[in-house]
Structure formats: C-alpha cells, structure tokens
Amino acid sequence: MNHHPHRPTPPDQPVDLAIIGGGINGVALAREAIARGKTVCLFEKGDIGSGTSSRSSKMLHGGLRYLEHFQFRLVFEALRERTLQLDLAPHLSRATSFVIPVYRGASRGKFWIRLGIFLYDLLSGRKKLGKSQGLSQADISQRLKGIREEGLVGGGLYFDGVMDDARICLANFIDSREWGQDSFTGLSYTQVNKIDKETLFTLQLTDLITGKDHEVKAHKVIRALGPWADEQSDQSLLSPSKGSHIVLPALDPNGKNPNGILLTHSKDNRVFFVVPWMGKTIVGTTESPFEDTPDDPQISVEETEYLFKEFIRLFPGHDFTPADILATYSGVRPLAKADTSNGSTGKISREHRLVESKPGLYSLVGGKYTNYRAVAEETIEELYPESSSNATRTRPLTGGEEGPLTEVLPKMQSEFPDVESDRLELLYSRYGCRMREVLSLTQDQPHTAEPIDQEKSVLQAEVIYSILNEEVFYPEDFITRRSHLRYQKNNGREAYDLIEKLIVETLSPECVPKDLEEAKAAFFKKLDYEDQLRDRLAECIEV
C-alpha cells in the first residue's frame, strides 16, 4: 500500500504571510494570497475545519433574517457569494426551497413574510435560485407533511443554498496546496507557541503529530482564530455566541427534493431552521452568549429541549421521540465585538473586522460563513494593496472542476459501469469529480469496495483516500468531517476500529498519532453524553 507522504516541513526561507487557524477564514485567506502570487504558511492546532467551520447550520444563504436589521449590504454580498459557491462547488452545495409557515397571531405576519422574500429576490437580481411566492394554507400542508394545521394561515416560499461546511473548508485547503505547490505549506495539528518580532516575525511551532519543534519566519502574520481570537490577543475582540443543533432522520424519506423550513420559536420569537441535509434533518439553531473555552462546546439539556419540544409541537404528524435524535453539535460564533449588555447576540452584525495589533500582525474576526471568499479577498487586498486577482471568483473548488452532477454522472457511469448510480451520487456529494480516484482504489484493491457502516454509505476506499489526500490523522476527523458517519444512528461506532487500523497501516510510522487511545476515549465520551441527553429528554417529555 502506498504510504502517506511525509509531513511537510515548514520552509527555511521567510514567507510573505503566515496564517494561524485552519477554519474557513484561514484557508480562504491562504487560497486568496496564493492566487496573488504570495508565499504562505498555514498552521491549525486541530483538524482542518474542526472548530466552528464544521458546526454551522449548513446553509449557504443571503441571510433573509438580516433584512429585519436593514443589513442590506451584507445580504447583497452574501447572495452574490451564495451563487458563486453553488457554481464553484456544485458537489458540496445545492439550491433548496424553504417554506415559511405563518400562524395566527405571529409577530411576523403574511404581509411581512411576503415583503421580505420579495426584497430577497430583488437583492438576488439575476442570481435568483428560483422564484419566491406566497403560499396558501393548503399549499403548505401539501409541501410539509405532518405540520401543525391549527392556526396555520399561509406563508411563503423562497430559495437558498445548503452545503457541506466541513468539506468546503477542506476543499479550500486542498486547493491552496495544489494551486500553491511551490508557495504553500499547510499543517494541521500544529501548535503555534510564540510569535516574536525583530525585523521579521518568528513563529515557534510544535508539530503535534511528530512532536518536532520548528521555526518559521514571515513578513506578515494573520490570526484567523475564530472563537479563539481573544485567547492570544491583548484586547477583547469578540462577543461569542453559542449555536446548537440536533440531527433527526429525514422528514420525508422518499422525497427527492425536500423543502427546508424557516420557523419562529413560540417561546422567544427567534428564527430557527429545519434543514434537509445529506438525507437527514438538521434543526437549529439556538443563540446564547458564551463564556466558556470554545474547544469542544456541547449542547445543553435546556437547548436540546428548546429545539426538540418546539419541533414536535410544530410537527405533530411525525411521531419522533428523543430516541430519534441521531446526533447533536454546537459551535461558537465568533461575532465581532459589540454591546451585548441586553443579553442578546442575535442582533450583532455578521460583518467582519480586521484588527492590526502591531505593525504586520493582524486578527480577522467576525464574518458569516457564506461570505468567506469575499472576506478573504477584501482582507488580502488590504494587506497587499498592489496585488490584484479575481481568480478565486472563477476557479472551481477541489472536485468541482467538471461541473454539476448532471455532467459528471454520465462520464462516471461509462468509466465505472459496475458501480450503481446511487453510489456514484453519494461519492459525488463528497468528492465531486475526484471520486474517480476513490473508485480507482477499489479497482486496484477490490476489498476496499466494501462499505464500513450499517447504512452502507461509506466505502473502505474512502477512508484510505482521505488518509492519503485529505489530512486525516484520527478516526474522528473522518467520522465527523470527511464523511457523515457521526450523524447516523450508530454515530460511526461500528467503523471506528477499522478506520483507526487503516490510519496506522496507511500513514508513515512517524505520522501515526501517539494518542490514538485517548482520542478514542474522548470520542466515545461524547457519544455517551448524547445517550444521557436522550434519556434526560425522554424524562422531561413524559412529565
């Protein structure tokens, strides 16, 4: 079996830009700087995208609810970026219709909803994904099986995008690596211990995989630390807020194009979403100020109850019980600092800020996921005013090079006639046209064509491909962020040991993490916590 290339070592020569943080902002900054001919190093202390960038509501959206706060510029930019992502990463994003049911006595009545979606279409201009429309009560009941009929007076329909956030982040990283073959070094699981400045910045690093220490010199440094921004800063830059989600089975298992739903919570009038995602349903999000360490936030019993009880209240026709909650996840939104003395973070702007703490040392904070490419473009232009490039507006993300499924599927069917179309579609949704490389592995080693999970959705070859090409060092990297085993009934439990075995066999010995046992214990502890949540919720609901 071909072994993993050795860990890249940071360059001896000073680089133009060192980026700390491998979330969506960090990887997009790297890709933008490479497009402008800069030399770049990027360091991430965990897995690529393992913080907030893989814990979003999975929506590529303009932000319909930001219209209420008159944030037209933000929405306009987000709508443009939404369209770009759908074009450049067709395998990782799809246009989806969203229904907004309106109930009697709602704070946002039918008129306001229809005005909102009309404005949204107007701001989308030619970039509309479909035509918004008002819906009658009968329309809504037909589109949303099992919805609460009592008090339903009608509503509206509009379009937005749904995405695989972890993979869009990874695709930006991999494209930086391929595009910047001679100008980019990116290392996950690398801790930056110290930054000194004489004429140049010197970063002291520890490679957490090999245990080796390194030093890198850079002309400029940008921290894209997301919710960790305040940990290394001498000033407070954030008003962090926690958003939690629960994952349920598909609402309509046979529906080919399920609708998303935008709802208003009966308790506090907060907007929350029910998002069809990868054959599952995501319900979220909560929003509460957050004071804790952002390392691995967890949903609380109260948040689980807040989302689940409201969901079953609005969908009495689905007899979901707490046992149906497949998984949960929470992320910390790194909102740029604002006054939250009234306790609300929902009204804080999603605009980003670039803060220079000393000459050449910057922190990037805020921004919303959908706008990440525009944020990177604006930031790199500010750092290098003389550079110009529109390349990231037109270059597809890794796997998107051959276009949408309708164009890729016939090619793959003729290249791999023995593989079922359903399997090809699943592989396309993760790797795009790069699925060719995964399928080639199964031809060279037929046993790798075997699925590793109960739903038979993930092949052994995918694990090997991800270890070789997608920076997988721990089973959790694969289970939670490269595949969606984490969001299945069994949460990837049955595949864990096999994935670990493949990591040990495929990586060169120096690259096999020393703490695989501790990592396994930590992962299973999270799953135990979710089991306890289901039990607690079942008790609350019976009462």
Q: In terms of domains, do 411 and 499 share one? A: yes
Q: In terms of domains, do 152 and 291 share one? A: yes
Greatest Cα pair distance in the chain: 70
Let me know if residue 27 belongs to a domain: yes
Q: Half-sphere exposure of 460 toward its Cβ, with a 13 Å CA cutoff?
A: 19
Q: What is the pLDDT of residue 338?
A: 64
Q: Which of 282, 300, 333 is the last residue of a domain?
A: 333
Helix axes 110-124, 72-88, angle to 10 degrees: 60
Q: In terms of domains, do 429 and 495 share one? A: yes
Let me know if residue 183 belongs to a domain: yes
Q: Which amino acid is at 264?
A: T
User: Quick one: pLDDT band at residue 4, thresholds 50, 70, 90?
Assistant: low
Q: In terms of domains, do 128 and 172 share one? A: no
Q: What is the pLDDT of residue 287?
A: 87
Q: Which amino acid is at 359?
A: P
CATH of the domain at 506: 1.10.8.870
What is the three-class DSSP state of 164?
A: coil
Residue 91 DSSP code: T
Residue 51 DSSP code: S
**What does DSSP say about strands 352-358 and 361-366: parallel, antiparallel, or unpaired?**
antiparallel
Which positions ≥6 away from 311 have C-beta within 8 Å? Answer: 246, 248, 274, 283, 320
- Give the whole-angstrom CA distance, residue 351 versus residue 365: 9
Q: Is the pLDDT reported for residue 93 higher than 60?
A: yes
Q: In terms of domains, do 370 and 451 share one? A: no
Domain range for 213: 15-52+166-238+348-394
Q: Is the pLDDT reported for residue 235 higher than 80?
A: no
pLDDT in tens, 323-349: 999 999 999 988 787 644 444 444 445
Let me know if residue 524 belongs to a domain: no
Specify the pTM: 0.95
Q: In terms of domains, do 410 and 268 share one? A: no
Cβ atoms 46, 189 nearer than 8 A: yes
Q: In terms of domains, do 33 and 78 share one? A: no
Q: In terms of domains, do 179 and 34 share one? A: yes
Mean pLDDT computed over 343-357: 65
Q: In terms of domains, do 152 and 261 share one? A: yes
- Give the whole-angstrom CA distance, residue 287 versus residue 301: 14
pLDDT in tens, 452-461: 999 999 999 9
Q: In terms of domains, do 424 and 464 share one? A: yes
What is the three-class DSSP state of 195?
A: strand
Q: In terms of domains, do 270 and 145 share one? A: yes
CATH of the domain at 270: 3.30.9.10
Q: Is the pLDDT reported for residue 97 higher than 70?
A: yes
Average pLDDT of every residue of the chain = 92
- How many domains does the chain fold into? 3
Beta bridge partners of 42: 19, 186
Q: Is the pLDDT reported for residue 256 higher than 90?
A: no
